Amino acid sequence: MDLYAVFGNPIAHSRSPWIHARFAAQTGEALSYEAILAPTDGFAAAVAAFRARGGRGANVTVPFKLDAFALADRRSERAEAAGAANTLIFSADGVLADNTDGAGLVRDLAFQGCALSGQRVLLLGAGGAARGALLPLLAEKPGRLVVANRTAARATALIAGRDCGATELAACGFDDLAGSSFNVVINATSSSLAGEAPPLPRGIYAPDSLAYDMMYGRDETAFLSAARELGAAHCLDGLGMLIEQAAESFFLWRALRPDTGAVRRDLRTLLAS
């Protein structure tokens, strides 16, 4: 049986073993997937020990995505663009790093019926989550994509040198958003973990707009609650993104793409119980 795992610290809360067990059962793949608590200063050693046990691949979560990127012998274009990795593939040739977070975001938006082509999109944040999302979002060819961050210089640095094709790509601080409106607003900050929301102005949400938080939980996140008050017509959390990025990792490992529909429904039910 092939071995896979997710590394993090903390990690006991991770839903990844449950998700990948469902994928394996659905596709008939013989694999085992476990959660591994790695010491904050011992990620590389923990990965080496797992590989020695026969590990074939791994997911990586907080705080090790930069460590995973540095550990790799080779990196995908997505990982290079993000400067971080959440998926590792082990082979005789070494370690290949990829980043499936942005792909998971875009696939979730598509699953929810949100087409980004030609739309005005606002991406909030300039950290790892935003870096992972930028390239896949640009690939969807929005009409305009603005990256906004509390520190405008970080947003500007994020988009510097990006090939944006026909998309109008811009960066600014939160204070510079007054007077702008967007069809899709994506929260890639960690504000919801602290029960807070980025300071967005009234009018930021266009009619029939979507507010999307990469975070998720049993209850509505602070960002989505604030978005409703500001006029967002539709609100989505990141549960679907979690499942879709996992499906992308599963595809990289097994060359099979699982059906995520039933997994979405059952995990939402599990969280509510």
Q: What is the DSSP string of the chain?
A: -EEEEEEESS-TT--HHHHHHHHHHHHT--EEEEEEE--TT-HHHHHHHHHHTTEEEEEE-TT-HHHHHHH-SEE-HHHHHHT--SEEEEETTEEEEE--HHHHHHHHHHHTT---TT-EEEEE--SHHHHHHHHHHHHT--SEEEEEESSHHHHHHHHTT---TTSEEEEEEGGGGTT--EEEEEE-SSGGGGT----PPTT-EEEEEEEEES---SSPPHHHHHHHHTT-SEEE-THHHHHHHHHHHHHHHHS-----HHHHHHHHHHHH-
**Annotation marks residue 141 as catalytic:** no
Name the active-site residue from 56, 65, 120, 264: 65
- Which of the residues are catalytic? 65
